Amino acid sequence: MNDPSRTAAGPELLLVEECEGWPELLGADPEGLVEIALAATLRAHAMEDLRTEIGVTLTDDAAVRELNAEWRQKDAPTNVLSFPPRRIEVGERPGPLMGDLVLARETLQREAAAEGKAPRDHFTHLVVHGVLHLLGHDHIDDDEAERMEATEIAILAQLSIDDPYRVDEDDAAVAVP
Burial class (CB in 10 A: 0-12, 13-18, 19+), 62: exposed
The string over 72-106, giving b where at least 16 C-beta atoms fall within 10 Å of a residue's C-beta and e elsewhere, is: eeeeebbbbbbeeeeebeeeeebeeebbbbbbbbb
Whole-angstrom distance, CA of residue 78 vs CA of residue 76: 7
Question: Options 3.40.50.1110, 3.30.70.100, 3.40.50.300, 3.40.390.30; which CATH number does 12-158 get?
Answer: 3.40.390.30
SS3 content of the chain, % helix, strand, coil (to 5): 45, 15, 45
Span 38-53, pLDDT tens digits: 999 999 999 999 999 9
Could you give the C-alpha distances from 85 to 19, 99, 100, 162, 177, in angstroms and in order? Answer: 25, 6, 8, 31, 51
Q: What's the whole-number average pLDDT of the chain?
A: 91
Q: Is the pLDDT of residue 8 over 70?
A: no
Kindly tell me if the per-residue pLDDT of 144 is higher than 60.
Answer: yes
Distances (CA, A) of 34 to 66, 87, 89, 97, 156: 23, 22, 23, 17, 13
Q: Are 139 and 42 in contact (CB under 8 A)?
A: no
- Report the predicted TM-score, pTM, of the whole model to 2 decimal places: 0.90
Q: What is the pLDDT of residue 176?
A: 39
Q: Is 23 helix (H, G, I), strand (E, B) or coil?
A: helix
The residues that bridge with 59 in the sheet, in sequence order, are 104
| pLDDT average, residue stretch 150-154 | 97
Amino acid occupying residue 24: E
Question: Which tens digits make up the pLDDT trace of 54-102?
Answer: 999 999 999 999 999 999 999 999 999 999 999 999 999 999 999 999 9
Lowest mean pLDDT among 3-17, 66-80, 113-127: 3-17
